[in-house]
Structure 1
Amino acid sequence: MSQPIASPAVALAPPRHVAIIMDGNGRWAKARGLPRNLGHRQGVDAVREVVRACKRLGIEYLTLYAFSSENWKRPQSEVAGLMDLLRLYIRRELDELARNGVSIRVIGNRSRLAPDIVALIAEAEAKTRDNRTLTLVIALSYGGQDEIVDACRRIAERVAAGALRPEDVDTNVVASHLQTVGIPDPDLVIRTSGEQRLSNFLLWQSAYSELIFVDKLWPDFSAQDLADAVGEFQRRDRRYGGSGA
């Protein structure tokens, strides 16, 4: 059963879009003498809790960094275990997510994924496309640098074809060629495990995001930790390069 979330003292608007770098599954398992994949399995429980918490907190978009383009370098057994977890998560959670108004969207390079996973993703996206309570964006086989390079390549092709003038290329044009088109930039980026870097995650989109680094490992991250991060976000003064009041 979900635990009640202690709300911030001041009732301010929550971030519209929260993005999370879910870090620390392997270290969580190592600290307990367990295989790394058991840490990843425990991390799935944290995903479930945070998704439910977003709905209660009024967050409209949640992006989770599930598997980076660099994660393919990990041992084959670990990668296979992560992919099995993804299959299990979609199959087990899809009906509940759909019932609760959650729309699923996956960003990243699908060409490296197994065909059955690509089919599961397509099914999940199609089944939840019209839901509006929460958009759950899963970054899978994703890298921010690759995303920007791909956008630049497609813009260059349009310029070469005469469909776009070089002087018309601006931030809006670039954003419209990113995989996150139609999704607002994250207001808040959270990283667990105490590491303090973006690790190639939403590099363009997080230009003005508030960053919060949490010492807890991802499997220990709770709904209350999310609420605490939201409270910290609400206390910050976002100036977007301006001087403020």
Structure 2
Amino acid sequence: MIGPKHVAIIMDGNGRWGLKKKNSRNLGHKKGIIRVEEIIKQSIKKKIKFLTLYTFSSDNWKRPKIETNFLFTLLENYIDKEFNNLKKKNIKIKILGDIDKFPPSLKIKLRKVEKNTNYNTLIQINLALNYGSRQELVNAFKIISIKKKRIITEKLISDNLYTKNIPDPEILIRTGNTNRLSNFLLWQINYTEIFFVKKLWPDFGKNDFNIILNKFNKIKRNFGAI
């Protein structure tokens, strides 16, 4: 059985995990980074070519500024730590979303790591940052309007999304015991197998990931046929 090429993950539950452990949401975010590293390694082992991580949604600006600033610092520190390793490990980084509102230093580093890893081929990690699926669709239609295309097709829309040239995910995982999509990849998941997980993201490990991959491989996917 051929496994999935593309897995997308809504990494929910960091803050709640931190509050339960040490009464600190930031602790959960730090632990969440460790889980990201573990799932990336496992994805490579399973020969998954695309891994999309819902890292910061366009609605996350509603959170306290002290928390968003901590998230930005955490992400910036991670880039500083892993910048050279990403190229050595042949990992490609792609940004999905509008990062213009991000702190200048973080924005520069994100664009630099995206450019620096552009030709890497082992796995592509898509970081959804200041991402919202509805806004992605609005942006796509604005671009199409500027191009003055009169015939609208599914391919035309797909070609103007952040995910252009990225196959739709076969699997979407959401941790955190919450059964909703939260404005994530709404166009792209029309035939995606969705797995809602009760565990909070910092408790989600490679064994949980493997269980989902095994379940996926047993699913008969008909895509509307019999």
Q: Which residue of 2 aligns with 1:118?
A: 107
Give the counterpart of 2:221 among 238, 241, 245: 238
Q: Which residue of 1 aligns with 2:38?
A: 49
Deviation at 1:33, TM superposition (A): 3.2
Establish whether residue 171 from structure 1 lines up as the match of residue 154 from structure 2. Answer: yes
Deviation at 1:235, TM superposition (A): 1.0
SS at match of 2:147: helix
SS at match of 1:211: strand
SS at match of 1:137: strand
Q: Which residue of 2 aligns with 1:63?
A: 52
Q: Which residue of 1 aligns with 2:182?
A: 199
SS at match of 2:127: strand
Deviation at 1:194, TM superposition (A): 1.3
Measured in 2, the distance between the counterparts of 1:153 and 1:80 equals 31
Number of equivalent positions: 226
Deviation at 1:97, TM superposition (A): 2.2
Establish whether residue 213 from structure 1 lines up as the match of residue 202 from structure 2. Answer: no
In the TM superposition, what are the counterparts of 1:1-245 in structure 2 within 5 Å?
Answer: 12-159=1-148, 164=149, 166=150, 168-243=151-226
SS at match of 2:181: coil
Measured in 1, the distance between the counterparts of 2:52 and 2:105 equals 23
2:101 is aligned with what amino acid? Answer: R
Q: Which runs of 4+ in 1 moved over 6 A?
A: none
TM-score between both structures, scaled by the size of structure 1: 0.90
Identity of aligned residues (%): 39
Report the structure number with the largest CA radius of gyration.
Answer: 1
Unmatched tracts of structure 2, length 5 or more:
none
Q: Which residue of 2 aligns with 1:5?
A: none
Deviation at 1:201, TM superposition (A): 0.5
Q: Which residue of 2 aligns with 1:6?
A: none
TM-score between both structures, scaled by the size of structure 2: 0.97
SS at match of 1:85: helix
Measured in 2, the distance between the counterparts of 1:221 and 1:100 equals 24
Deviation at 1:230, TM superposition (A): 0.6
Deviation at 1:94, TM superposition (A): 2.2
Deviation at 1:95, TM superposition (A): 2.1
Measured in 1, the distance between the counterparts of 2:2 and 2:83 equals 29
